[in-house]
Structure 1
């Protein structure tokens, strides 16, 4: 009987998470089935008032992804088998493991697996720090800590994140596996080929240099500072904002104001995960403007201790994009070692730093690829994590 990994991922867009894609691919090569429950449709009766798992004590909304093939080039959604649903999950006698992502997913996975008696594994992408827990997070933190008592193995990205997670949960470092949140290289590890995707979609002139930002448009991504930032850039540089989700009317209006400056372009439509490589490869530089802000439990200390958890930085390094980054410890440390980008402490520095990288782009690009190869390539770490998963089977 084939073993099965059942993953509870309490967010939409699972195919934008490189670690999930790598986990599915590695386990598929080993002959495992993978089932995924992700945000989407209603699953009732699993939460309790005050549990912190969702509005009014209900769990987060979960939905299985559709069936699909398991070929090497398949999207994550096509690799993952349809989940049988919580009732069957609880009764399942198949050998395997139950994995929960982040505090919400871990707490819900524990409830789903209460009768299955499967080993419980924590996939940590966002850390809920004890000192940041307020009334809104108290139930979630209590549920996370209760579930941690049953955790057999934890995936986290690097030593910085491991130390932070140990302090936030009491989980032992010896039971943690370090796997950078990074895409795996393509077939035969060939370099990602150049692309004209953004220039073609947005009509950007060849002489302009594209600085790409991808991901959520939020305070922790310096959203309200972008207008001032691009005002310090030489005219040859243009910032392209690409979000993985459609924007609402207020955000669209605000973004149009940015676009009116002539220094910002908006990539209007989300892309399938399979086109992310072409998206990054069509830019000249990446902007990583992480900034800890007290808006949410995911946006303060969790950002300050970013470590190797940034999928956008890893994608950029894989594609050889020099990186313009905010002043976080991980960027100061890694950029000093690899010369793969520059770190700014004030917005007025950003234009000069872009010009410096543009003047020696090939060297910075080589540094970015070396940064990926030596620090971010997830293949070996993911294989070692899956070895430990297999060690949990009866």
Structure 2
């Protein structure tokens, strides 16, 4: 019987996570089955790798991931006996982030399969408040059973070790990046939004939130030369307050909104239709994912990786990873003040091909996930009984 990798992903939209796609593809090539438990997202159809879509289930219990018998009972009721029987197949259980790991441990109470941690968001001990205390306790309890951990780079490995006590020797480093693919010629955003050919598109993709400098964007674009236009591409353009805020940004004449997310298969065309990427990460104390977790971003940004693959020069905020990597790869510029951003965009536009070549080199030498993912899957196979 083929080994089974069951991934517990406690969020919607797993198709937006390139590491999951790469994992499914690599394990599929090795003859594994992959099964995904996620929080209410419908990802049936293509999108999680060349191996084809795994079995997709949406039964995760809502609420906190507290330890103990109650969690195991909720999982058993949600999953049913047939799925629990499959969980005892030869294979591994992989939990994503603190809640996914705790849920995986609950599911593993009888199966006793090797438990693997996939870390994308780090909950730091010093940031645990009353709302996160149960989740942190459950994460630390589960860490005692973890046999292998995936994290993106040395910076995040050190941060995760400090936050959990997990040993560095049991961590595999895999950048959160799409696998290589041909970069198409694309005018997707210009066609969709009616942007004139002479304007230069600066793309931001993903969540619209404080950690993405949402409240600073109006001031930022006010410093840009008129040829540059910021395009916000996000699932989150809903709700009256957000719509009003986005309308006020659009009214500047310097911002366009692309609210309909493209399928995973079209992400290459989306990025290739832009001229630059904006990476405005900013640590803010809004949530456990948005402060120290952002400060130690490392190589966990899928949007930065996809832009580098497509040769987009990157305008980035003042984080350690960008200072470090852009010193070695001249693929972008780092701003420390909003008034610098227009000057930096103009500098990159004047030498765009040189920056684009460096972005592709940055991807090839630092972000290409194929060899690190293969090494991680070697270690997964070594865990099989």
Root-mean-square deviation (CA), in Å? 8.5
Cα distance change of structure 1 residues 53 and 43 upon mapping to structure 2, 3 Å threshold: closer
Looking at structure 2, the residues matched to 240 and 315 of structure 1 have their Cα atoms a distance apart, in angstroms, of 16
> 1:54: Cα distance to partner?
29
> 1:40: Cα distance to partner?
1.1
Cα distance change of structure 1 residues 21 and 362 upon mapping to structure 2, 3 Å threshold: same
**Can you list the C-alpha shifts for 1:42-82, whole angstroms capped at 9, x where unaligned?**
999xxxxx999999999999706999999999999999999
> 1:247: Cα distance to partner?
1.9
User: Which segments of 5 or more consecutive residues in structure 1 lack a partner in the other structure?
Assistant: 45-49
Instruction: Classify the secondary structure of the residue corresponding to 1:78.
Output: helix
> 1:316: Cα distance to partner?
0.2
Q: Is the 8 A contact 1:28 1:70 kept in 2?
A: no
Count how many residue pairs are aligned between Structure 1 and Structure 2.
385
- Matched with 1:144 is 139
> 1:373: Cα distance to partner?
0.1
> 1:229: Cα distance to partner?
0.1
Instruction: Classify the secondary structure of the residue corresponding to 2:109.
Output: coil
Higher mean C-alpha deviation, range 161-170 or range 83-92: 83-92
Q: Is the 8 A contact 1:194 1:281 kept in 2?
A: yes
> 1:180: Cα distance to partner?
0.1
> 1:244: Cα distance to partner?
3.2
Instruction: Classify the secondary structure of the residue corresponding to 2:270.
Output: helix
TM-score (norm: length of structure 2): 0.90
**Can you list the C-alpha shifts for 1:265-313, whole angstroms capped at 9, x where unaligned?**
0002111111111000000000000000000000000000000000000
Instruction: Classify the secondary structure of the residue corresponding to 2:61.
Output: coil
Q: Is the 8 A contact 2:13 2:41 kept in 1?
A: no
Instruction: Classify the secondary structure of the residue corresponding to 1:85.
Output: helix
Instruction: Classify the secondary structure of the residue corresponding to 2:55.
Output: coil
Looking at structure 2, the residues matched to 259 and 2 of structure 1 have their Cα atoms a distance apart, in angstroms, of 52
- Aligned match for 1:319, one of 275, 299, 310: 310
Q: Is the 8 A contact 1:244 1:271 kept in 2?
A: no
Question: Is the counterpart of residue 363 in structure 1 residue 358 in structure 2?
Answer: no
User: Which segments of 5 or more consecutive residues in structure 2 lack a partner in the other structure?
Assistant: none
Higher mean C-alpha deviation, range 237-246 or range 323-332: 237-246
**Can you list the C-alpha shifts for 1:78-117, whole angstroms capped at 9, x where unaligned?**
9999997576236643210000000000000000111111
Cα distance change of structure 1 residues 41 and 160 upon mapping to structure 2, 3 Å threshold: closer
Q: Is the 8 A contact 2:236 2:259 kept in 1?
A: no
Higher mean C-alpha deviation, range 345-354 or range 133-142: 133-142
Cα distance change of structure 1 residues 348 and 67 upon mapping to structure 2, 3 Å threshold: closer
Cα distance change of structure 1 residues 108 and 54 upon mapping to structure 2, 3 Å threshold: farther
**Can you list the C-alpha shifts for 1:295-339, whole angstroms capped at 9, x where unaligned?**
000000000000000000000000000000000000001001010
TM-score (norm: length of structure 1): 0.88
Instruction: Classify the secondary structure of the residue corresponding to 2:76.
Output: coil
> 1:17: Cα distance to partner?
0.1
Instruction: Classify the secondary structure of the residue corresponding to 1:80.
Output: helix
Q: Is the 8 A contact 1:66 1:82 kept in 2?
A: no
Cα distance change of structure 1 residues 56 and 107 upon mapping to structure 2, 3 Å threshold: farther
Instruction: Classify the secondary structure of the residue corresponding to 1:145.
Output: helix
Question: Is the counterpart of residue 131 in structure 1 residue 122 in structure 2?
Answer: no
Q: Is the 8 A contact 2:307 2:314 kept in 1?
A: yes
Looking at structure 2, the residues matched to 370 and 100 of structure 1 have their Cα atoms a distance apart, in angstroms, of 32
Instruction: Classify the secondary structure of the residue corresponding to 2:85.
Output: helix
Cα distance change of structure 1 residues 230 and 53 upon mapping to structure 2, 3 Å threshold: closer
> 1:25: Cα distance to partner?
0.3
